[in-house]
Structure 1
Amino acid sequence: MTFDFAASHFDLFEQPARFAIDARALDARYRALQAQYHPDRYASAGDAEKRLALQIATRVNEAYQILKSPLARGRYLLTLAGVDTQEETNTAMPMDFLMGQMEWREQIAEARASGNVERLEALNTELRGEIGDLEAELGDLLDADRLAEAAVAVRKLRFLEKLDQEIGDAIEAALF
């Protein structure tokens, strides 16, 4: 059993190293790799081969999850280009973005406090639209090799994903 652990996620999934990917081809390649390397196929093999199959399957799953997620894919492309997104250390954001975050949080808190599931779902729909727009912007920035701006877009997306989680938690709390 041979496998190139040094291959990039894009090479592993036979995709060009760019933000826009062919989701159908990604899924098809994932299924093919799983069929080829799934640990169950090596149940009767020796311990070393079983371990290798498990390592390969783990690597395939990790790479698939990263390429499937626009935020993780953008972050990975930046990492390949040697850019640190500084998500843990750089919280500086444009003022209009921060003000928008405050407005979102206030609206979520109001809807949560009143148990207004319809309002929370409307906020979720609106937020998903903003996330989609920002993902498209991230792709454009990466394609234009505007990596510093792309890193800011990744940090913004991370903020929006946290808001999305807050809305989901609020909907769940209101329903139960």
Structure 2
Amino acid sequence: MASEDYFQLFGLPSQFALDSDALDATWRRLAAQVHPDRYATAGAAERRVAMQWASTINDAYRILKSPIDRARYLCERAGCDLQTENNTRMDGEFLMRQMEWREQLDEARQAAGTAQVEALAHDIHASRRDIESAVADLIDEQHDYQTAAAKVREWMFIEKLLDETQSLRNELRDRRH
């Protein structure tokens, strides 16, 4: 089951663009087929297989539902190891932008500036939309998984920075109350 093609499992084309309604409907159907209640009176081996399939279906759904996880999955299936643990190489322009965002986040934290945080979050969200669009084109149109993998690493940084921005928003909100 570990080598299962998640797109094939859900009857979807192996591409970044995805019909989320079809994904959701197929997940509900598949999950119902292997639901533990259906196997309550089955033997131990049959219950174990159903549970393994349920786990595979849920993992597949989680990965395909998330655009960044789906992009990563497609790149890895195409043979591109994202090397997220040890590959920190990124485009020079992106590195400069990353440093600017970090500085802006630090300044907003020091100034307790809600407006600064909101402006920064808006800017980062726009960059995330741009990267998602670029990754979609690289995977579905150009089939350039190597470049897409590099963009996914950038996207992962953006997600981390958005999480930090949201944490600062919460922190500033809590200070006001």
Read off the aligned partner of 2:170 and give its amino acid letter.
Answer: E
Match status 1:99 vs 2:92: no
In the TM superposition, residue 150 of structure 1 has moved relative to its aligned partner by: 0.8
**Matched residues, number:** 173
RMSD, aligned α-carbons? 1.6
State how far apart, in whole Å, the 2-side matches of 1:20 and 1:88 are: 27
Answer whether contact 2:34 2:53 (CA < 8 A) is retained: yes
Structure 2 match to 1:171? 169
Structure 2 match to 1:149? 147
Deviating beyond 4 angstroms after TM superposition, the runs of 4 or more aligned structure 1 residues are none
State how far apart, in whole Å, the 2-side matches of 1:67 and 1:140 are: 17
Match status 1:89 vs 2:86: yes
Match status 1:24 vs 2:56: no
Answer whether contact 2:63 2:69 (CA < 8 A) is retained: yes
Answer whether contact 1:134 1:157 (CA < 8 A) is retained: yes
Aligned residue among 65, 68, 74 for 1:68: 65
Structure 2 match to 1:34? 31
Answer whether contact 1:34 1:57 (CA < 8 A) is retained: yes
Structure 2 match to 1:13? 10
State how far apart, in whole Å, the 2-side matches of 1:77 and 1:132 are: 18
User: Counterparts of 1:118-137 in structure 2 under 5 Å?
Assistant: 118-137=115-134
Answer whether contact 1:20 1:139 (CA < 8 A) is retained: yes
Aligned residue among 137, 141, 146 for 1:140: 137
State how far apart, in whole Å, the 2-side matches of 1:169 and 1:50 are: 42
The percent identity for this pair of structures is: 46
State how far apart, in whole Å, the 2-side matches of 1:131 and 1:74 are: 13
State how far apart, in whole Å, the 2-side matches of 1:107 and 1:83 are: 33
In the TM superposition, residue 96 of structure 1 has moved relative to its aligned partner by: 1.1
Structure 1 match to 2:158? 160
TM-score by length of 2: 0.90
Which structure 2 residue ranges, 5 or more long, are not aligned?
none
Read off the aligned partner of 2:94 and give its amino acid letter.
Answer: F
Structure 1 residues 32 and 118: CA distance shift in structure 2, 3 A: farther
Answer whether contact 1:112 1:171 (CA < 8 A) is retained: no
Other structure's SS at 1:26 match: helix
Other structure's SS at 1:82 match: coil
* Greater displacement, 71-80 / 40-49: 40-49
TM-score by length of 1: 0.90
